[in-house]
Amino acid sequence: MTNVGGLSTYLINSQPEIASKTAGYQKQLSSLGYSISLLDTGNNGFRKSVFRLSFHKQSTELKVLKKEIKLTQASQNPKQLQQLEHALELWIKNQPKEVKQRGKLIPQLKTAIKEHKQLADPSYQAFEQKRRDEVKTELANLAKTQQLNKQLAEITREMLELQLGLKFTRQPKCNADIREAIVNAFSPQTVSYVLHRYPELKEDGPIDVSKLISSINSLESLINPGVITAQKSNAELITPFQQKRFLGDRTFGKEGICAALSAKWLTTQHTNINFYEDIGFVDGIKAHTKAEGHEEIMNLAIQYYGGQSGHKNTDAYWSADVPHGFYALLNYFKNYQLSMDIQKSDTVKGTDLSTISKPGLYYLAIHNSKGGGHGLAAKVAATSPGKITGYTLFDPNYGEFHFNNEQQFKQFTYRLINQLYPELKYSTLVVGLK
Whether 264 and 405 share a structural domain: yes
Domain count, the chain: 3
Answer whether residue 255 is part of any domain.
Answer: yes
- The amino acid sitting at 394 is F
CATH number for the domain spanning 414: value is: 3.90.70.20
Answer whether residue 324 is part of any domain.
Answer: yes
- The amino acid sitting at 357 is S
Whether 88 and 156 share a structural domain: no
Task: Using alpha carbons, select from 282, 262, 143 the residue that is nearest to residue 214.
Answer: 143
Whether 138 and 107 share a structural domain: no
Q: State whether residue 287 is helix, strand or coil.
A: coil
Whether 102 and 132 share a structural domain: no
Whether 415 and 272 share a structural domain: yes
Answer whether residue 279 is part of any domain.
Answer: yes
Find how far residue 253's CA is from the centre of its chain: 25
Residue at which a domain ends, from 195, 223, 251: 223
Whether 267 and 398 share a structural domain: yes
For residue 106, the tally of other CB atoms under 10 A from its CB is 13
pLDDT of residue 344: 65
Whether 325 and 380 share a structural domain: yes
Answer whether residue 172 is part of any domain.
Answer: yes
Answer whether residue 229 is part of any domain.
Answer: no
Residue at which a domain ends, from 99, 119, 139: 119
Whether 260 and 395 share a structural domain: yes
In which element (H, E) is residue 100 found?
A: helix 96-101
Answer whether residue 254 is part of any domain.
Answer: yes
Task: Using alpha carbons, select from 163, 156, 196, 197 the residue that is nearest to residue 177.
Answer: 156
For residue 313, how many C-alpha atoms fall within 13 Å in the half-sphere facing its CB?
Answer: 19
User: 378 near 399, Cβ under 8 Å?
Assistant: no
Answer whether residue 2 is part of any domain.
Answer: no
Residue at which a domain ends, from 66, 86, 119: 119
**Per residue of the chain (434 residues), what is the pLDDT tens digit?**
332 222 222 222 322 333 333 333 333 333 333 222 222 233 333 333 333 333 334 455 556 666 655 555 444 455 666 666 777 777 777 777 777 776 666 776 777 666 666 655 656 566 666 777 777 777 777 666 655 577 777 888 887 887 777 888 888 888 888 889 888 888 888 888 888 777 878 888 888 777 777 777 667 667 788 888 888 888 999 999 999 888 887 767 667 899 999 999 999 999 999 999 999 988 777 778 788 999 999 999 888 877 444 433 433 444 444 456 778 899 999 999 999 987 666 778 888 888 898 999 999 999 888 878 899 999 999 987 778 999 999 999 999 999 998 988 998 998 899 888 988 888 888 999 98
Whether 68 and 136 share a structural domain: no
- The amino acid sitting at 434 is K
- Per the structure, the complete domain to which residue 182 belongs is given by 124-223
213 Cβ contact partners less than 8 Å away, ≥ 6 residues apart: 136, 139, 140, 143
Answer whether residue 393 is part of any domain.
Answer: yes
Backbone angles phi, psi at 215, to 5 degrees: -65, -45
Whether 347 and 417 share a structural domain: yes
Find how far residue 313's CA is from the centre of its chain: 23
Q: State whether residue 400 is helix, strand or coil.
A: strand
Whether 214 and 259 share a structural domain: no
Whether 182 and 75 share a structural domain: no
